[in-house]
C-alpha cells in the first residue's frame, strides 16, 4: 500500500500538563505594582499606561497550558510579548504577578538555588543568535552545561558526542563555531540544550536569522528529532508559516495578550477576530487541513467474508464502481472494483479475496492535504484514511483536495485550476467512470 503520514504527533487531550501559566503579568518601569493595583490601568491600553504611569505592559494576564511532549508555538509580531513570556517561564525575567507551574510546582515561589536546579536539569534553552562560546570547540560548547553541573569530563564528552551526532554534526567536534555556517551553529545550540536531557525545551526564534532554505531544512530536522526525543517544546516565532508547520498548537499574541490558542487548522479556519483573520489570510488551507477534516464515510464498506456476487450487488446498488474491503475489526485489506468482481464471477470464483487489489493508496488521519496531492494525482479512486493499527477511518476524494486548492486561489485563477483538474489523470472519465466522478 502506498502511504502518506505526518511527522507531527496528533494532540492527545489526556496528556499530562507539563507547563501551566496562570494570570501572568510583566510590567516594566518604576513601581510596576501600581498598574496592577489600579483597576483603570489594568484595562488601559499600553499607550495610556505609559502616559499615566510611565510603565510598559509587556504581558497582560496571560494564561495557557502545555502538555507533556507537546510542540507548542508562541507566535506574534515584534513587541507582542512572546520572547518576554518565554523568559518569564524560567524567570530570566521575573513576572510582576501570576504563576508559572512546571510539573505542578510554581517556580515563581522558588529561591535562587531551587530555580538554578530547574534551569540546569528540567529546561534547556536555544537562543536566536546561538549564544555559543567562540573560543571553545563544538564539543566543549555542547558539553558546557554538563560542566557547570559538575559532570566528570569523560561523562560529559560522551553525552555531548551523542547529541552532536543527533543533530547531524558528527566529525565537527573539534572545530570552533566560526568555522561553521549559521545553520550548523544553530545545530550546536540545539545539541547543547539536549545534552542535559531536559524535559522542556525553550526555543526563542531559533531559525529567524537563517536563510529561507536553511530555515526550512532546520524545521524539518527539528520535527524529525522531536519524533525521537519527545520533549515538551515551547517555540517562539514571528513567522506564521513556520508556526503552522511545526506547531501542534499555536498561541497568537498581540500587545502582551494571547488572543487565540488552537491547532494550526483551528487558527486558519476559525480565526477568533479580525486581527487573527488578517494574520492568517495568506495561509494555504491545504497546508493545515488534514485528512481527518475532509474525509467522508464511504457509501458502502465490504467485508472479507462476503462473496463476490453479494459484493458486486452492494456496489452497484450504491451506484459506485469500487469499494474498500475490511476485516471484522475494520483493518483494511484492499479494494475491489466492478471490473475485478465481474472477472472473478465469470471465472466462477467464490472468494472475495481473489478480486482484491491490496495495492491501494492510504494516508493517516493527520496527513496534511498538501502531502496528499502526489497521491491523488495518480488515481481516480478515493484515498483510504487509516489509523496506526491499519484500521479504516474514512476516505478522501480527489475532488475534495482540488476544491481546497481552488479555494486558496484568487478568482482569476479558478478557471485555470478547473481546466487543469479536468486534464489531470485523476479526473479523466471514461463512460464507466462518470458515475464515480459525479459521486466524488
DSSP states of 94-146: --SEEEEEETTEEGGG--HHHHHHHHHHTEEEE-TT----TTS-HHHHHHHHH
CATH superfamily of 292-439: CBS-domain (3.10.580.10)
Under DSSP, is residue 26 helix (H, G, I), strand (E, B) or coil?
A: strand
**Mean pLDDT (whole number) for 166-170:** 90
Cell (9 digits) for 245: 508547520
Tell me the whole-structure pTM to 2 decimals.
0.76
pLDDT for residue 439 is more than 70: no
**pLDDT > 70 in the chain, percent:** 88
Cell (9 digits) for 365: 488521519
Which value, in Å, is the radius of gyration of the alpha carbons in the chain?
A: 27
- CA 250, CA 234: separation in Å to the nearest integer? 10
- CA 292, CA 416: separation in Å to the nearest integer? 28
Residue from 147, 237, 233, 153 nearest 198 by CA: 233
Contact between residue 62 and residue 258 where contact means Cβ atoms under 8 Å apart: yes
Q: Which residues pair with 250 in a beta bridge?
A: 73, 262
Contact between residue 341 and residue 315 where contact means Cβ atoms under 8 Å apart: yes
Greater confidence, 314 or 422? Answer: 314
Residue from 7, 4, 8 nearest 369 by CA: 4
Residue with the three cell numbers 564539543: 139
**Mean pLDDT (whole number) for 237-258:** 94
Q: What DSSP string runs through 363-404?
A: EETT-BHHHHHHHHTT-SSPEEEE-TT-BEEEEE-HHHHHHH
From the CB of residue 281, how many other CB atoms can be counted at a distance below 10 Å? 10
| Domain definitions of the chain by residue range | 15-279, 292-439
Cα atoms found within 13 Å of the Cα of residue 399, Cβ hemisphere only? 9
Greater confidence, 402 or 189? Answer: 189
How high is the pLDDT of residue 412?
Answer: 45
How high is the pLDDT of residue 234?
Answer: 97
How high is the pLDDT of residue 12?
Answer: 58
Q: Which CATH code is given to the segment(s) 15-279? A: 3.40.50.300
How high is the pLDDT of residue 170?
Answer: 92
pLDDT for residue 225 is more than 70: yes
Greater confidence, 210 or 72? Answer: 72
Pairing state between β 392-396 and 383-386: antiparallel
**Mean pLDDT (whole number) for 23-49:** 94
Amino acid at each position: 500500500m502506498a502511504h502518506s503520514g505526518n511527522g507531527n504527533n496528533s494532540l492527545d487531550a489526556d496528556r499530562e500538563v507539563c507547563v501551566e501559566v496562570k494570570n501572568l503579568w510583566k510590567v516594566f518601569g518604576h513601581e510596576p505594582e501600581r498598574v496592577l493595583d489600579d483597576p483603570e490601568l489594568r484595562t488601559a491600553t499600553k499607550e495610556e499606561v505609559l502616559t499615566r504611569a510611565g510603565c510598559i505592559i509587556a504581558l497582560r494576564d496571560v494564561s495557557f497550558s502545555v502538555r507533556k511532549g507537546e510542540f507548542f508555538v508562541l507566535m506574534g509580531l515584534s513587541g507582542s510579548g512572546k520572547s518576554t513570556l518565554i523568559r518569564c517561564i524560567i524567570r530570566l525575567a521575573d513576572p510582576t504577578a501570576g504563576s508559572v507551574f512546571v510539573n505542578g510546582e510554581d517556580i515563581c515561589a522558588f529561591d535562587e538555588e531551587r530555580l538554578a536546579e530547574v534551569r540546569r536539569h528540567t529546561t534547556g534553552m536555544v537562543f536566536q543568535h546561538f549564544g555559543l562560546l567562540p573560543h571553545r570547540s563544538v564539543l566543549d560548547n555542547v558539553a558546557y552545561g554538563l560542566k557547570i553541573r559538575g559532570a566528570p569530563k569523560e561523562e560529559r564528552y560522551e553525552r555531548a558526542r551523542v547529541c552532536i551526532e543527533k543533530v547531524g554534526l558528527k566529525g565537527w567536534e573539534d572545530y570552533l563555531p566560526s568555522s561553521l555556517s549559521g545553520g550548523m551553529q544553530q545545530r550546536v545550540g540545539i545539541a547543547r540544550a539536549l545534552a542535559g536531557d531536559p524535559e522542556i525545551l525553550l526555543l526563542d526564534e531559533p531559525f529567524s536569522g537563517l536563510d529561507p532554505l536553511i530555515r526550512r531544512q532546520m524545521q524539518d530536522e527539528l520535527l524529525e528529532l522531536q519524533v525521537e526525543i519527545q520533549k515538551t517544546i515551547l517555540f517562539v516565532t514571528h513567522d506564521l508559516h513556520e508556526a503552522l508547520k511545526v506547531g501542534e498548537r499555536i498561541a497568537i499574541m498581540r500587545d502582551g495578550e494571547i488572543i487565540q490558542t488552537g491547532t494550526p487548522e483551528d487558527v486558519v479556519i476559525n480565526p477568533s477576530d479580525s486581527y487573527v483573520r488578517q494574520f492568517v489570510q495568506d495561509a494555504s488551507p491545504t497546508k493545515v487541513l488534514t485528512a481527518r477534516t475532509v474525509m467522508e464515510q464511504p457509501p458502502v464498506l465490504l467485508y472479507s467474508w462476503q462473496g463476490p456476487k453479494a459484493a458486486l450487488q452492494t456496489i452497484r446498488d450504491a451506484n459506485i464502481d469500487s469499494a474498500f474491503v475490511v476485516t471484522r475489526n475494520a483493518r483494511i485489506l484492499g479494494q475491489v472494483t466492478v471490473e475485478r468482481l465481474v472477472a472473478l464471477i465469470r471465472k466462477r470464483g467464490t472468494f472475495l479475496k481473489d478480486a482484491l487489489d491490496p495495492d491501494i493508496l492510504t494516508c493517516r488521519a493527520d496527513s496534511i492535504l498538501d502531502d496528499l496531492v502526489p497521491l491523488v494525482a495518480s488515481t481516480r479512486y478515493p484515498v483510504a484514511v487509516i489509523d496506526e493499527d491499519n484500521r479504516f477511518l474514512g476516505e478522501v476524494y480527489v475532488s475534495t483536495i482540488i476544491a481546497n486548492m481552488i479555494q486558496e486561489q484568487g478568482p482569476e485563477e479558478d478557471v485555470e485550476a478547473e481546466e487543469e483538474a479536468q486534464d489531470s489523470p485523476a479526473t479523466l472519465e471514461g463512460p464507466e467512470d462518470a458515475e464515480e466522478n459525479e459521486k466524488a
